[in-house]
């Protein structure tokens, strides 16, 4: 079950955190994985997949630049029949209310979190219309609940949910499924960097505090998000489209 044999997949932001976990898992399940990341350290992820007997390639790609995305996609489909799976994972965060969020920060988040996904879908959907395919977008619980000081981030992730529903509706008859995942806090290198920068000397205290905001009592693991991604991108999920999946330790429904 959940085999991705003979599937060509693209994972944006696949160099670290959730994207890395998804890329590694997809590679272990037989997919030929193409890692799109602006950070050249992401080469290590493709090398890890190849070393384990899988097949992977790294493409330096800034998803905010349509020309970059177009070039990277062209290099994927060279000698390939199609792209079967797109995981739109690349994203950035920001802390601030509407008053403390600058226009520059707002545009920066929009360019990565919204335009970046648009660029990838704009280039890949026409290819998928010929053969069918699966698109999985990374949203957040911030799109569905009020989080303090997450104005710009919440705005962009709500846009992700909207784009997901729109694409799912428009391409129902082209055999393209489109869903999104909305995680709560997940322990990634980004979290560690944020705590080190914002709470020097109090990292463990604040880590414990943030962990306990999930009713289950801890943060999620990137591998747990990856397992849900695998299911939604597999043929076993062929009846699922237009859905937003909370994977949040009970945050949305149980945080009374």
- The whole-angstrom separation of Cα 73 and Cα 238 is 24
Told to judge if 118 belongs to the known catalytic residues of this protein, a careful annotator would answer no
Determine which one of 153, 171, 231, 245 is catalytic: 153
Let me know if 97 is exposed, middle or buried by CB neighbors in 10 A (0-12, 13-18, 19+). exposed
Which segments within the chain are labelled E, that is strand?
8-12, 32-37, 55-60, 85-88, 133-138, 176-183, 244-247
| Torsion 156-92-83-59 (CA) sign | positive
| Through-space distance between the first and last CA atoms of the chain, rounded to whole angstroms | 37
- The whole-angstrom separation of Cα 145 and Cα 1 is 34
| Torsion 116-167-236-76 (CA) sign | negative
Q: Which residues are catalytic?
A: 153
């Amino acid at each position: 079950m959940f085999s991705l044999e003979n599937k060509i997949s693209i994972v944006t932001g696949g160099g670290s955190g959730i994207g890395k976990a998804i890329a590694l898992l997809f590679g272990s399940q037989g997919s030929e994985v193409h890692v799109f990341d602006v950070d050249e350290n992401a080469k290590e992820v493709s090398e890890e997949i190849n070393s384990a007997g899988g097949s992977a390639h790294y493409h330096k790609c800034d998803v905010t630049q349509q020309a970059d995305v177009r070039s990277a996609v062209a290099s994927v489909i060279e000698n390939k029949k199609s792209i079967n799976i797109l995981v739109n994972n690349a994203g950035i965060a920001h802390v601030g209310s509407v008053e403390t969020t600058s226009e520059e920060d707002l545009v920066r988040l929009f360019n990565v979190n919204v335009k970046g996904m648009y660029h990838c879908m704009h280039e890949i959907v026409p290819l998928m219309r010929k053969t069918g395919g699966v698109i999985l977008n990374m949203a957040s619980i911030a799109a569905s609940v009020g989080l303090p000081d997450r104005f710009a981030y919440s705005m962009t992730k709500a846009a992700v949910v909207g784009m997901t529903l729109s694409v799912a509706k428009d391409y129902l008859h082209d055999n393209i499924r489109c869903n999104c995942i909305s995680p709560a806090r997940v322990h990634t290198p980004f979290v560690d960097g944020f705590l080190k920068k914002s709470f020097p000397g109090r990292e463990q205290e604040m880590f414990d505090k943030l962990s306990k905001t999930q009713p289950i009592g801890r943060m999620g693991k990137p591998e747990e998000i990856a397992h849900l991604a695998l299911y939604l991108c597999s043929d076993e999920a062929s009846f699922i489209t237009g859905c937003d999946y909370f994977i949040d330790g009970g945050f949305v429904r149980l945080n009374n």
